[in-house]
Chains A and B, each alone.
Chain A
């Protein structure tokens, strides 16, 4: 089987099990929905300062519900005792990593589409004119977050205090990705020229590639027992 097909089998396994239980996607979407509502009460957002707050609201919702998905990504394998089965598959640790990362990415993107639609309705902001650049930024930011998160999901799955550990490990490392994503999102909503947004896009791509390379170099060591 070629490598890409193997990775796809990994991704498909996660999607199938999610379609059967629907646990993770449902909780992620509900959680980000709640974040949007809590933000409304917490800041009493009026129409004046709404545009400045949008990127913050969106990314807090994305990142916190993304974290839920991440903790389940490898955590579920640990709970079911299927982690060893995964390791016994005829696939390299890098393949396992890619499969898990793409799975998380897909779930997060679905959650983000849901969040954006709810956001449009609740905050009365039309996102359709910005959809292309916004979608690209959100995708790249999510890719970076999932890239970093999957490494630590695998790490924290076997430790004590799994969920707390995951957030403590993920947040400091993902600071550059979060900064770049929030900044680029803010520029889109403030109507900055496309060239400036494009330069942040390049930075995001560079960060994603750096972290993917690091994951490629180090993931094998994490899977060793």
Chain B
């Protein structure tokens, strides 16, 4: 499917259209929230990004298990591509969150379980990407698969630990969502679909890029081999 050019073009077009529609919905269609004002619009970017960050890391987790089980390089490519995009979305979450929190909660940051877990999550997957950078060629896939599994299993444990840790302190933020009107709900839905499409578009292209890179390296090695052989023939 990801090699079909017509499909990719159509997918790209739909994604582009949906992102434009989401921008329209967020900035023009959705009303300005009464008590929070214009800053509330960050919500439409923040929530889908948070969902997709977790979703991306979940894909990394599943693909890592499948890689160790099946030993197919395909899964390693999917795991690492998904982790990269997940880090981008996680970064968006961590940047938009404080921008919203400062006027609303009057602080940039609180050590609430959800916030802290997201931050730790970000650290884990940045470490994942760094590990891929420094590990040797023949160990990279195994190492990152193991780390991808450990990192994801660690997330609920961290959440639990932070939650138990803070039980004595008053909870500043309750889990209650914002009471939203129908246009806001529609906008959130549109933004959600747009971000999901954007995610898959990025993922497909990242996987294609990685495959192209591997192929280019193969070709390069092949050519170098030929040149080397040619020199030997000339020399001999």
Q: Which residues on A are within 8 Å of B, measured CB to CB?
A: 151, 155, 158-161, 165, 168-169, 171-173, 175-176, 179-180, 183, 200, 203, 207, 210, 214, 218, 221-222, 224-225
Q: What 8 new A-B contacts, CB under 8 Å, besides A155-B143, A210-B153, A222-B142?
A: A155-B135, A168-B127, A172-B127, A176-B158, A203-B161, A218-B150, A221-B146, A224-B139
Contact check, A176 vs B160: say whether CB atoms are below 8 A apart: yes
Rounded to whole angstroms, the CA-CA distance of A80 and B160 in the bound complex is 41
Which residues does chain B contribute within 8 Å of A203, judged by CB atoms?
161, 164
Please give the distance in Å from B212's CB to the nearest CB on chain A: 26
Contact check, B164 vs A155: say whether CB atoms are below 8 A apart: no
Contact check, B161 vs A165: say whether CB atoms are below 8 A apart: no
Rounded to whole angstroms, the CA-CA distance of A168 and B153 in the bound complex is 17
Which applies to chain B's interface (DSSP): helix, strand, loop or mixed? helix
With most chain B CB atoms within 10 A of its CB, the pick from A151, A173, A200, A210 is A173
Cβ-defined partner of B138 (8 Å) among A151, A168, A175, A225: A225
Which residues does chain B contribute within 8 Å of A173, judged by CB atoms?
124, 150-151, 154
Contact check, B139 vs A225: say whether CB atoms are below 8 A apart: yes
Rounded to whole angstroms, the CA-CA distance of A100 and B136 in the bound complex is 22
Rounded to whole angstroms, the CA-CA distance of A165 and B127 in the bound complex is 8
Which applies to chain A's interface (DSSP): helix, strand, loop or mixed? helix
With most chain A CB atoms within 10 A of its CB, the pick from B138, B146, B158, B162 is B146
Which residues does chain B contribute within 8 Å of A176, judged by CB atoms?
154, 157-158, 160-161
Please give the distance in Å from B139's CB to the nearest CB on chain A: 6
Which residues does chain A contribute within 8 Å of B149, judged by CB atoms?
214, 218
Cβ-defined partner of B131 (8 Å) among A165, A175, A179, A180: A165
A-B residue pairs in contact (CB < 8 Å), sample of 17: A155-B131, A165-B130, A168-B126, A168-B127, A168-B130, A169-B147, A172-B120, A172-B127, A175-B120, A175-B154, A175-B161, A176-B160, A179-B161, A179-B165, A180-B165, A210-B153, A222-B142
Please give the distance in Å from B62's CB to the nearest CB on chain A: 15
Rounded to whole angstroms, the CA-CA distance of A218 and B147 in the bound complex is 9
With most chain B CB atoms within 10 A of its CB, the pick from A159, A169, A171, A176 is A176
Cβ-defined partner of B123 (8 Å) among A172, A207, A214, A221: A172
Interface size class for chain B?
20 to 34
Q: 1/0 contact trace for B149-179 toward A, CB 8 Å? A: 1110110011011101100000000000000
> How many A-B contacts at CB < 8 Å in the complex?
80
Contact check, B131 vs A169: say whether CB atoms are below 8 A apart: yes
Does B134 make an interface contact (CB < 8 A)?
yes
Which residues does chain A contribute within 8 Å of B164, judged by CB atoms?
180, 183, 200, 203
Rounded to whole angstroms, the CA-CA distance of A57 and B151 in the bound complex is 27
Instruction: Find the A residue at minimum CB distance from B116.
Output: A175
Instruction: Find the B residue at minimum CB distance from A221.
Output: B142
Which residues does chain B contribute within 8 Å of A165, judged by CB atoms?
130-131, 134
Please give the distance in Å from A33's CB to the nearest CB on chain B: 29
Cβ-defined partner of B134 (8 Å) among A160, A175, A180, A222: A160
Q: 1/0 contact trace for B60-85 toward A, CB 8 Å? A: 00000000100000000000000000
Rounded to whole angstroms, the CA-CA distance of A168 and B138 in the bound complex is 21
Contact check, B135 vs A158: say whether CB atoms are below 8 A apart: yes
